Every structure is written in C-alpha cells, then in structure tokens.
RNA sequence: GGCGCGUUCGUCUAAUGGUUUAGGACGCUGGCCUCUCACGCCGGUAAUAGGGGUUCGACUCCCCUACGCGCUACCA
C-alpha cells in the first residue's frame, strides 16, 4: 500500500481519508505502508508542506514504514529523486516502439484543441508526430524544438475490476496519445506513478475517485512494460457543506485546524472511517482496532459523502467523555495554562475538569467553562440575577441554608442534597426559587455545572463566605 | 462535445429481488432527570431523483432522461 500526496499544501479531510484507508488496509493485511511524495510539478510545490503532511499524519496515528524520512529498500521516496529511473523506462518505451517523440508546440496543440471543440469533436491529440519520417524528424531537431515523449495508445479496450466500484472499461479510441515525458525532462504523473508503484511493489492502489479516468492510461503503461498490475480501489470524494470538492485553499476542513482546536485524533479517525463505509454491526463509535478488524472494501459505498462538522463535533464529545481523567488532565493542562489559569493543584484541577467534561465537544471550548472556578470574587451577572438574590424569599433560603451547613465540618455532594431538602422543608420554598439563589450567590451566573459538584469543589468555608457576602450586600 | 463514475431522510448510512408500515446515527424537536447550560434516557420529524421496462414481487436488475462529479493538460 502507499499513500502518495503531492506537496502542494496542507492535508485536508479528503487526503487524510485516503491515507487512513491505506493505513487501515495495510494494518489489516499485515502489509507495509509507503509514503511517497509526488513532487514532479515544481510550479505547484509548496515549501514546508512535506513536513506539514508528516505532522498531520503523525498526529492522527497514521504511521508508515517506508518514506522520505525513514528510508526503505525501494527508495528514493521523493518522486523528483527518481528522475533517472523514469528516464530509463521512458527510453525503453521509445526503443520498443511504444512511445514516440512529439515536436508539436503548445500553441499548435492549443489551436488543434480549439478547432476540434468548435467542430464538436473530442479534443484529443491527433497523432501528428506518431509516424514522422526520419527526414521530418531531422528537420524538427534542427529547429531545436524540445520534444515531449508520447505514449502510443493501441487499439481495442482496457478494463479492470475496482475493489469499490466493480468492473470499469474503456474503448481506447477515446484516448489520445498522452505525454509521458515533458519537454523539461520531467515525467508526467500518469507515467511516474506506474513506474514507482511497480518498482515499489505496490499491491493495492487506494486513491481518490478522481483517478479513475487516469487508470486506463496507466494500465496501458503497465501492459507495455510487462509490469504486474496492482489492485485498484477508488474512494469516493469527500465534499464540504456546500457540496463542493475539497480544495486546499481557505484551510477548509484542514487537519491542522482540527489539531489546533483540540480534537481527539481517535475521534477524527473514527468519523473519517465512517465516510462511505459502515461497520456491519451498525455501530458508530468504533475503536481503531475494530475499524482495522472490520473494514472491507465491499462495505464501501461508491458515492461521494458530505463532511458533516456537527456529527464530528458530537463524536469528539463522545471521545472526550470517554477519556480517563488522567488523560483528560494531560490534554487540558497546556490549554488551561495558555489561557492563564494556574494548574498547580492537580487534584482540584481534575475536579474542575470532571465537572465540565459533559459540556465539552472540543478541547478549545475548555477555558470558557472553567472560568468560574478560578474567580475568587463573584458578582451577580446581570439585573435579573441581582434581583433574584435580593428577594425576601431568597434571604430565607440563605439563612436556612447557612444554618444547615454549619452542622457539618465538611460538606459532600450528598450532604448538600440533604441540606437542600431540609431547607425546602423548613421554608416551603422549592424548585427554581430554592436552587437559583444558591447558584447565583455561589457563581454569579444562572448557568453552570451541577450544584452538588460545585459545592464539593468550593468546600464549606468558601460556600459560607460567598453566601454571607451576598446576604450582606 | 466525448468517455467514465455517481444519485435512499437536511447530513452520514443500513437494507446486495420477498424477513420493510424502508432501519440506525448526527441535526432539529417534545418529554424526563428536585435549578440552569450540558450529559444521559425515552419519544417525534424526515428519504429510495424522474420515466419506462424485466419479474408473481424492485431501493436492489436493465434502458432512457435529469442533475452532480471526474478525465479529456508538457497538473497531481
């Protein structure tokens, strides 16, 4: 298996899904995953994107055993470093008569194309230079035109069985002689992939559906060179909310963004695995082990899927809630410190996290939920809150509550519930009128985590002092 | 234009000719959980693109149309 991204920007959900599928399948088959960088287009090459790709994959736990960084017996793993190899095979095709030099200029070709289009004909290369006589060729050479190498497409048809889409076939008269070596000496994509995949002994080519139409050209090259043809699996496209195919611009659905916003890698992996694939069990929350174990191409749908951020968010929340408190703590510490909160006391930090765990769908939400735990002074949030705690009824609640609390040395969550029951009995006040004054006195806000949990966190003294403060004002 | 691929609730999907009043999940929504925001639990909403065939029977097979996407590059 191999994942072969081009270094033209950050990884997005589509790229990464392909990488993930390769990883899953390699893992399941006890196979080897190769990372190969396809950088034959220097114009679109973006500096630093190779590192970015590695960072994203590492973060998601997609590991490869051969690649430009780790080496391996089938290297080099950067396509631009394989030029000699590509040239060698191009020459062989030329020698064997499967390819020929073409001297047509871009302007010429462009004109031909427009003419064909105007006549409502397929805009294909017309094979002009296919059978150039020795004389004509000599003339072209003397004109110092740098030729490209074109592959001579045979007659008949080609077909293959896609692991996801089933049998696909083409009549070859629909395909024009295509370029395998550009005039600058660089191989074209369709040529280089075949050489590299064959030489790296790739057994399964798992790639995006956009490549389906490239496959007949590649099959022809495999054929001409006598290479063993790998199995192909073309994965459906992932679309954004506007149902457009993902682009590298605008950072849309970029993996980097998910990493920075504190998504759990496992959650993203899980969500991505469920795009165009489903477990036979019907379960949604699946561990990596289960995905690897249960995956099969036959359960993959062949239509494109829209990436749904809402569902990802939900799933991420599920993973956060399932986190062991130790792991949650480790994940949270840097975020809290970044927001300026002191986390010296690990025990109490863990308690805070436990209290807000249920509210989180992504870790970057954490600061807004923990704020009230770090405040030492509390002021009622708004007019409505202020009004409520100044009501006569509320003062009754406070008095009674303090009396109740004083009977304890420490108050646990259960003690608190007992006390509240007692207050309700004594005052006859219940429901909102009973609980809200306490909440506001303690936190200043009408929203927040469960009160018993809060009480336990603050402890008796803090609780009493906060209530007294409100009563005095 | 040609060729290829695709089309089940808003979204991800299940059902690979009969077990189906088309199932689950997200979202939305109603209720419950002594207060709120959440969590959790229980319920509701909503789909086979359209038209022809084949068949006793079609989401499932075939054809046509529509729509979307890809390739048709000296991009990958």
Give the mean pLDDT of A187-216.
Answer: 95
The total number of residues shown for chain A amounts to 473
> What Å value separates CA A282 and C1' B23?
10
Q: Cα–chain-centroid distance for residue A405? A: 51
| Statement to judge: residues A446 and A415 lie in one domain | yes
Max CA separation in chain A (angstroms): 113
Q: How confident is the model at residue A311 (pLDDT cuts 50, 70, 90)?
A: very high
A426 pLDDT more than 80: yes
| Statement to judge: residues A306 and A221 lie in one domain | yes
Its ipTM equals 0.95
What is the percent of chain A where pLDDT is above 70?
A: 99
A375 pLDDT more than 80: no
* Residue A334 included in any domain: yes
Nucleotides of B strand lying within 7 Å of any protein CB atom: 1-8, 10-16, 23-27, 34-40, 68-76
What is the percent of chain A where pLDDT is above 90?
A: 53
CA distance A37 to A5: 6
| Statement to judge: residues A355 and A416 lie in one domain | no
Helix ranges (DSSP H) in A226-274: 255-260, 265-273
* Residue A211 included in any domain: yes
Q: How confident is the model at residue A250 (pLDDT cuts 50, 70, 90)?
A: low
Q: Which nucleotide is nearest to A434 (CA to C1')?
A: B35
A252 pLDDT more than 80: no
A405 pLDDT more than 90: no
> What Å value separates CA A168 and C1' B52?
26
* Residue A94 included in any domain: no
Alpha carbon distances (Å) from A67 to A15, A225, A350, A355, A392: 17, 25, 41, 44, 73
Give the mean pLDDT of A369-395.
Answer: 80
| Statement to judge: residues A314 and A217 lie in one domain | yes
State residue A249's pLDDT score: 55
| Statement to judge: residues A293 and A206 lie in one domain | yes
Write out pLDDT tens, residues A277-289.
999 999 999 999 9
Q: How confident is the model at residue A320 (pLDDT cuts 50, 70, 90)?
A: very high
Token reading at A66: 């051969």
More confident of the two residues A192 and A340: A192
| Statement to judge: residues A314 and A356 lie in one domain | no
The beta-carbon contacts of A424-427 under 8 Å, at least 24 apart in sequence, are A426/A400, A427/A393, A427/A396, A427/A397, A427/A400
> What Å value separates CA A177 and C1' B29?
59
> What Å value separates CA A444 and C1' B37?
14
Q: Which nucleotide is nearest to A282 (CA to C1')?
A: B24
A415: CATH: 1.10.10.350
| Statement to judge: residues A312 and A197 lie in one domain | yes
Judged by DSSP in three states, A277 sits in strand
Return mean pLDDT, chain A: 89
CA distance A198 to A196: 5
Write out pLDDT tens, residues A87-145.
999 999 999 999 999 988 888 788 877 777 777 777 778 777 888 777 777 777 777 77
Helix ranges (DSSP H) in A127-214: 134-142, 189-199
A260 pLDDT more than 70: yes
Q: For residue A435, what are the domain limits?
A: 383-472
A208: CATH: 3.40.50.620
Alpha carbon distances (Å) from A233 to A22, A30, A204, A209, A394: 10, 18, 7, 8, 68
List, as one string, the DSSP characters of A296-360.
Answer: -GGGB--S-EE--HHHHHHHHHHHHHHS-HHHHHHHHHHHHHHTT-----HHHHHHHHHHHGGG-
State residue A77's pLDDT score: 93
| Statement to judge: residues A64 and A194 lie in one domain | yes
């Amino acid at each position: 298996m191999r994942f072969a991204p081009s270094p033209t920007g950050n990884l997005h959900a589509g790229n990464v899904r392909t990488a993930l599928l390769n990883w899953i399948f390699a893992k399941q088959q006890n196979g080897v995953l190769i990372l190969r960088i396809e950088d034959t287009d220097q114009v679109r090459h973006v500096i630093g994107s190779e590192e970015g790709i590695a960072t994203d994959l590492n973060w998601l736990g997609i590991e490869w055993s051969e690649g430009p960084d780790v080496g391996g017996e089938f290297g080099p793993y950067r396509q631009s470093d394989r030029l000699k190899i590509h040239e060698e095979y191009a020459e062989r095709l030329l020698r064997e008569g499967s390819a020929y030099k073409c001297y047509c200029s871009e302007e010429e070709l462009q004109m031909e194309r427009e003419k064909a289009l105007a006549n409502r004909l397929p805009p294909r290369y017309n094979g002009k230079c296919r059978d150039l006589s020795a004389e004509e060729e000599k003339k072209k050479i003397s004109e110092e035109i740098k030729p490209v190498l074109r592959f001579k497409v045979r007659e008949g048809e080609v077909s293959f069985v896609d692991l996801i889409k089933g049998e696909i076939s083409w009549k070859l008269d629909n395909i024009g002689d295509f370029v395998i070596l550009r005039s600058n000496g660089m191989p074209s994509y369709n040529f280089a992939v075949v050489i590299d995949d064959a030489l790296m002994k790739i057994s399964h080519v798992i790639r995006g559906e956009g490549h389906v139409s490239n496959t007949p050209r590649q099959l022809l090259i495999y054929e001409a060179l006598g290479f063993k043809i790998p199995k192909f699996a073309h994965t459906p496209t992932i679309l954004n909310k506007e149902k457009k195919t993902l682009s590298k611009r605008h950072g849309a659905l970029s993996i980097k963004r998910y990493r920075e916003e504190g998504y759990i890698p496992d959650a993203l992996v899980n969500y991505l695995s469920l795009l165009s694939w489903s477990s036979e069990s019907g379960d949604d929350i699946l561990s990596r082990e289960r995905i690897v174990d249960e995956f099969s191409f036959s359960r993959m749908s062949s239509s494109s899927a829209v990436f749904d951020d809402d569902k990802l968010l939900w799933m991420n929340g599920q993973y956060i809630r399932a986190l062991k408190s130790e792991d949650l703590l480790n994940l949270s510490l840097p975020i809290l410190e970044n927001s300026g909160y002191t986390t010296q006391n690990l025990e109490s930090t863990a308690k805070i996290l436990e209290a807000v765990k249920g509210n989180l769908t992504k870790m970057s939400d954490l600061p807004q939920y923990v704020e009230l735990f770090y405040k030492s002074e509390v002021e009622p949030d708004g007019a409505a809150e202020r009004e409520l705690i100044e009501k006569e009824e509320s003062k009754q609640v406070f008095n009674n509550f303090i009396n109740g609390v004083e009977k304890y040395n420490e108050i646990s969550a259960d003690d608190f519930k007992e006390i509240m029951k007692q207050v309700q009995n004594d005052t006859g006040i219940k429901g909102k009128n009973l609980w809200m004054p306490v909440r506001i006195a303690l936190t200043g806000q009408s929203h927040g985590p469960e009160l018993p949990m809060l009480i336990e966190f603050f402890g008796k003294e803090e609780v009493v002092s906060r209530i007294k403060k409100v009563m005095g004002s």
